[in-house]
Structure 1
Amino acid sequence: MRSLSLLPVPLLGALALSGCSALGPDYAGPPDSAPTPTGFARAGDDAAISSAVPLARWWLSLGDAKLNDLIERALAANPGLDAARARLRNARLAMDLELAARLPTAGLSTMAAKVRVPDVKFGEQNIASQWLSLYTLGANASWEADLFGSHARSVQVAGASAQATAANLADVQLSLTAEVAQNYVALRAAQKRLALSREAVARQERMLALMQQRYRGGTASRLDLSKLANQLDSTRTELPAQQADIETHGNALAVLLGQAPGSLDAELAPAAELPLPPAAVAIGDPAGLLRRRPDVRAAERTLAARTAQIGVAEAAKFPQLKFSGMLGLGGSSISDLAHLGDFTLALLPQLSWSFLDFGRTAARVSQAEANRDEALAQYRSQLLAALKDAENALSRFGHRRMAVAGYARAKASADEVAALTGQRQRGGTASTLELLDAERQQILAEQNLLGALAGLNSDYIGLQKALGLGWEASPG
């Protein structure tokens, strides 16, 4: 038996094929609501600050091969970065799902059934109970026409959300490079500080031994001896804390590289010089900063997604048109499946419209608009926060450079005093105790300079992070 069910749908089909423009506002970029200055206010007239485009892989400017290696390994194996990459894959797959939702769906189905029909009486005729067999093989398809752009806007939402997730991944990379560098600099500074403290202990032990000789000879008081002993004990108490600092930063570096704490101890044990920032630091301009900063880009992409969401909510006010189709073969025996001429065909257009919802759809539209306004305010706030970060970082770096210059002068003075005292001691006009004290002051001045240089490195790294660097050339 052949049956054909075909509903006349030329008007609806033409409407579905012609489509309508997407509802809701079209996103054309963020409004120019936050003024962008032409230059950084805190750069001043510092000759060491250049407006040239900064280096994306900024850590190369520190000239430390071990630091370069650690950062590259962290970018390849950090668990937090792996999680961010997984979030990005998830967001991109969500966009693929939205793209696939615009296309038809099709499937196949088959069925074999054996049905018992009970006794049936038609007037005076009785039909005895019997078993019937039924075999079917069919194909079905469906497609929803995007009359008012709901699917198109949903794709825009998913696409912008995926781009925001990509920007968040870049932000994780940026923070990771800065964190590795900060811990590495702190580790090298702690190693150097421990070496200087041990040297200071050795000199103070010599001073104490000489003072004990003078005390036994009656040329020094008990008070002088006690002061030196107290000073030596104070210096010795600093050693465990400095060793703990080395181990703490080593543990942090290991975890950042996706390894167990302590696994890098042997690799980092050989002491190395503290890396220093370059003489000239390129910072670019505020406009370039805002283009590079991943958090600003993520806020802008979130604004784009929230804007497109308004169109999705608007489209719910209007009818939805869906086409379904079915093609089937079947009969009471398996051989009937081979009778291609006996088929069932059905085309079923369905038009649905929830025109009376007591304001639910209008509320969702208003809610989407409020979300868009919130995203716009957050974008403006992120712009200002990025500019503030850069200006603060420039201020700290500039003032730290001046402080380092002062500590360097103090160190040079201490070196000169130690040298002159050494000359006097060799000439017999100064005691060995005076020389050891001058050398102790020299070590103290070097420790102060070391702390200032470590702070300068930290401020330089913070400046690179504030400029939005450290992700553009990263793998993944």
Structure 2
Amino acid sequence: MTGVAALLAGCAVGPNYQKPQTWTPPKWRPTQVSDGKGASITVPDAPDVAWWNVFGDAELTSLEERLASQNLDVQRATEELAQSRAQLILAGAERFPALSASGSYARNQQSTKTLQRIISRIGQSSGGPVSDLLEESSSNATIPVLDRWRDGVDATWEVDLWGRVRRQYEAAKAYLEESGEQRRSMLIAREADLARDYVTLRGSQEKLRVLRLNLADASRIFGLSEARYRSGLVSELDEQSARSQVETISAEIPELEQQITLQINAISLLMGSPPGTLTAELSAASAIPPVPPRVPVGVPSDLAQRRPDIRAAAAQLHAATAEVGQAEADFYPKVTIDASFGFQSLSFRDFGFWNARTWNVGPSITLPIFQGGRLTGQLELKKSAQRDAALDYRRTVLSAWKEVDDALTRYSADQARRDALCAQVETNRRSYVLASEQYRHGMTNFLDVLDAERRVLGSETDFADVTSVVSGDLVRLYLSLGGGWESVFPVRGHG
């Protein structure tokens, strides 16, 4: 009995999947800490699932929490996951016997002429009195109209001796896992897109605030120059230069207002909403989300478990390995057991009686003898696909480490640039105040004031830019680390 069970269980031919080993650095690249009071360093603590909470921005948190159920790309990925789950059900169905019930009724009239011809031929070959009798009766033979009643249950089951069905199911499970990781990757990417767009929006609003403050300063200086020109203390050149500066700054404001509108529309699209839907919610200016003093990034050995693209590549390799075994199993005989049981009668009155039963059971064997190279070509195709999946896994892992290293480098370098610009803003602002006071008292010409004013505007704008860049760098860092263990998805995904 044990031998029969082992035979029925069979063995799965082909290679078994083994999770690939990946290189892991002992620690992350250290981030350089500047002397700036806003310096932020990375620490090996486990990151929060909702990583955007590190910014401490309530509006950003609200948007991120709504994203998973509203973003259309995530919803599409959810439907693709549902399709993969259905494919798994289809693949798993082959592991079990297929049962079907059927019933039929037919009223038939067979060919009487055919029957007469058959009887006549029999009579000609028989000879003697029997021949004469058959010849005489053949012309009068008829076939009555017959009623045929039938019902039954049919079953078929493939005895998976070589593991073809099991390898097929194994591949389907791996594809389902890959589809789940792709959906998770889509969600993480859209979360990062939302955070970057939000940071960019707040940066544009900060630059607009800087422009308006500088416009107020330029207007004040213009008023002073105009008054001094009317008093004959300065030339018209000072008055026109001051007017030009006001007009230059004023001309930049509509462009920034346009950028703000476009950025709000971009966020609305990510949230699956029409343009303008979030205008009332986001049009009020707010500070650029600041980076925290300590950024938890986990440890390097967790990266392969955190990055969904790495897990998806591993699942793809698993599926490709299982498909090699499935292709090898096609070289072996395919054994199928077919069975049926039912009732058949020419009269409805006899239809339910036990002696009207009909049944059959038995195996069928299909052995591939000559396929014109189809099976060999299919096996080589699957082996090549497996090697390709292994290379893709290695490429994905190396790309992941590069993205993390690049993100850490940018985060450190842009912080140093931000601190330098912060000092430059303070210096330029002090120079502008001194030049304005000296011009007010007639101790310097207007060109010095104009030059100082332009330096202030440029440095303050650059500082707003780099501040949003640093926050964007932190978003990229968390994206490269694989985000968090996101678990909030649209309801239809059942995930």
* TM-score when normalising by structure 1: 0.90
What corresponds to 2:91 in structure 1?
A: 98
1:20 equivalenced with 2:34 (yes/no):
no
Whole-Å separation in 2 of the counterparts to 1:385 and 1:274: 30
Whole-Å separation in 2 of the counterparts to 1:309 and 1:209: 80
Match of 1:152 among 133, 153, 166: 166
Deviation at 1:336, TM superposition (A): 1.8
Whole-Å separation in 2 of the counterparts to 1:431 and 1:358: 95
Deviation at 1:27, TM superposition (A): 0.7
Whole-Å separation in 2 of the counterparts to 1:337 and 1:42: 85
What corresponds to 1:4 in structure 2?
A: none
Mapped contact 2:425–2:456 kept (Cα < 8 A):
yes
Whole-Å separation in 1 of the counterparts to 2:225 and 2:408: 49
Deviates more, 1:78-87 or 1:221-230: 221-230
* Counterpart amino acid of residue 219 in structure 1: L
What corresponds to 1:463 in structure 2?
A: 477
Q: What secondary structure sits across from 2:145 in the alignment?
A: strand
1:340 equivalenced with 2:354 (yes/no):
yes
Q: How does 1:314-325 map to 2 (within 5 A)?
A: 314-325=328-339
Q: What secondary structure sits across from 1:39 in the alignment?
A: coil
Deviates more, 1:216-225 or 1:365-374: 216-225
Change (3 A) 1:395 1:115: same
Q: What secondary structure sits across from 1:127 in the alignment?
A: coil
Whole-Å separation in 2 of the counterparts to 1:241 and 1:471: 39
What corresponds to 2:51 in structure 1?
A: 58
Q: How does 1:184-223 map to 2 (within 5 A)?
A: 184-223=198-237
Mapped contact 2:13–2:163 kept (Cα < 8 A):
yes
1:40 equivalenced with 2:33 (yes/no):
no
Deviation at 1:260, TM superposition (A): 0.5
Whole-Å separation in 2 of the counterparts to 1:82 and 1:288: 28
Mapped contact 1:42–1:391 kept (Cα < 8 A):
no
Whole-Å separation in 1 of the counterparts to 2:33 and 2:287: 30
Deviates more, 1:387-396 or 1:283-292: 283-292
- C-alpha offsets along residues 332-369 of structure 1, whole Å, 9 cap, x if unaligned? 22222221332011113110111222432122112111
Mapped contact 2:201–2:260 kept (Cα < 8 A):
yes
1:80 equivalenced with 2:70 (yes/no):
no
* Counterpart amino acid of residue 330 in structure 1: Q
Match of 1:115 among 108, 121, 125: 108
Q: How does 1:439-458 map to 2 (within 5 A)?
A: 442=456, 444-458=458-472
Deviation at 1:419, TM superposition (A): 6.1
Q: How does 1:5-404 map to 2 (within 5 A)?
A: 14=4, 18-30=8-20, 32=21, 34-41=22-29, 43=31, 48-119=41-112, 120-121=115-116, 122=119, 123=134, 124-125=136-137, 126-404=140-418
Whole-Å separation in 1 of the counterparts to 2:212 and 2:257: 11
Superposed CA RMSD in Å reads: 2.6
* Counterpart amino acid of residue 267 in structure 1: E
5+ residue gaps, structure 2: 35-39, 120-133, 490-494
Deviation at 1:470, TM superposition (A): 3.8
Q: What secondary structure sits across from 1:341 in the alignment?
A: helix
Whole-Å separation in 2 of the counterparts to 1:219 and 1:423: 16
Q: What secondary structure sits across from 1:259 in the alignment?
A: coil
What corresponds to 1:6 in structure 2?
A: none
Deviation at 1:444, TM superposition (A): 4.5
Deviation at 1:216, TM superposition (A): 2.7
Whole-Å separation in 2 of the counterparts to 1:107 and 1:352: 22
Q: What secondary structure sits across from 2:360 in the alignment?
A: strand
Mapped contact 1:188–1:273 kept (Cα < 8 A):
yes
Larger radius of gyration: 2
Q: What secondary structure sits across from 1:399 in the alignment?
A: helix
Deviation at 1:413, TM superposition (A): 2.6
* Counterpart amino acid of residue 240 in structure 2: S
Deviates more, 1:221-230 or 1:177-186: 221-230
Whole-Å separation in 2 of the counterparts to 1:420 and 1:336: 116
Whole-Å separation in 2 of the counterparts to 1:438 and 1:374: 60
Deviates more, 1:303-312 or 1:352-361: 352-361
Tell me the percent identity: 28
Q: What secondary structure sits across from 2:336 in the alignment?
A: strand
Deviation at 1:42, TM superposition (A): 5.1
- C-alpha offsets along residues 27-82 of structure 1, whole Å, 9 cap, x if unaligned? 1211x3x5321112354678822122222211001000100000111111111000
Change (3 A) 1:422 1:212: closer
Mapped contact 2:46–2:296 kept (Cα < 8 A):
yes
Kindly tell me the number of residue pairs found equivalent between the two proteins: 462
Whole-Å separation in 2 of the counterparts to 1:430 and 1:277: 43
Change (3 A) 1:285 1:16: closer
- C-alpha offsets along residues 64-102 of structure 1, whole Å, 9 cap, x if unaligned? 010000011111111100000111111112111111111
Mapped contact 2:157–2:336 kept (Cα < 8 A):
yes
* Counterpart amino acid of residue 393 in structure 2: Y
* TM-score when normalising by structure 2: 0.87
Mapped contact 2:306–2:485 kept (Cα < 8 A):
no
Deviation at 1:146, TM superposition (A): 0.5
Mapped contact 1:293–1:467 kept (Cα < 8 A):
yes
